[in-house]
Chain A
Amino acid sequence: MEPAEPTARGGCATLDAALDPDSAAWLRSLGGSPTESDAAQIRLHALLLRIARSEVQRRSGRLKISGPELDDIAHQAANDALMAIIAKIGQFRGDSRFTTWAYKFVMFEVSTKIGRHFWRNPAAPIDAEHWEQLPNRLALDPAQEAEWQELVAALRRLIDTVLTNRQRRIFVSIVLNEVPVDALAAELGSNRNAIYKALFDARRKLRAALVANGYLDNNTSRRA
């Protein structure tokens, strides 16, 4: 099920009436006189920076980034989030608090900056193919290699034969080389949605081919 489309925005007065006072105040001041708008942007930037800093802190345990570099990412994310918010403010439909909508840009920018940062010190070159890691990535037990060896060999063959070049490249980067999705998006000049879609299609195609070749049962294709 998809969420219901919120009622169409019927001009500023209608939107204003539906907004909580805090969100309405943000929209008024950001859309006010140049002096008022500048002051509001400075306040908003401070807020976005605080959120970006706590977000990079929250993620820091899983990243090989620390100290000034992390703070630099927070600053860049806050700056770019502010620009995106100002550019897209007309798209704010009032279906959440203004700050929640604004913080979403911070999360997205933090992810994008961290994705780009990955290539400063990548674990492997982009075109490496760590096939020996495949059983590991599938969480297969080395003690039972005799049992899954044939299956893994079949999967490897199918990766070469049923996937498009682009799907194969994305599958290999993410699954074998553990390149984060946002890092790959930055490298390929693409975006998260397109990378995820390619990976989604690749997984579906591989599964269907394994079923067609008798390696997997079809009846396990749907979750309970």
Chain B
Amino acid sequence: MNGQSALDRFLQTDPQDVGCEEAMGWMHVYVELVAADPATASRYAGIAAHLRACGPCAEDFEGLLAAIAPPAT
């Protein structure tokens, strides 16, 4: 990757990104929808965009998804 595209990607922000507060506010609802049908994620573009960009919220989301998963048999 050249310097321009690397830097461009690094500084890229998604205008749809809703931010941590809103993503966390809806996370319990969103996680159940995604657990039931992963395709749902695309319907909530603002939250999905945030989880792609925000490491800490993505980590919380992964943890929540694991917590509500039925125990492995």
Residues in A lying within 8 Å of B, measured CB to CB: 1-3, 6, 51, 54-55, 58-59, 95-97, 99-101, 103-104, 106-108, 110-111, 137-141, 144, 147-148, 151-152, 155, 180-182, 191-193, 196-197, 200, 203-204, 206-207, 210, 215-217, 220-221, 223
Contact = CB atoms under 8 A, between A and B. Distances in A.
B17 to A, nearest CB: 7
A210 B6 CA distance: 13
Contacts of A192: 20, 24, 56-57
B28 to A, nearest CB: 4
Interface centre among A51, A107, A140, A217 (most CB of B within 10 A): A107
Contact of B28 (A104, A111, A141): A104
A96 B30 CA distance: 9
Given A111-B56, A144-B2, A193-B21, A104 B64 contact: yes
A220 B63 contact: no
Nearest to B15: A222
Contacts of B67: 51, 54-55, 100, 103, 106-107
A193 B60 CA distance: 14
Main secondary structure of the interface of A (DSSP, over half): helix
A151 B12 contact: no
B4 A200 contact: no
Name the 9 nearest CB pairs between A and B, nearest first: A148-B3, A207-B11, A193-B20, A107-B60, A193-B21, A96-B28, A101-B28, A103-B67, A107-B63
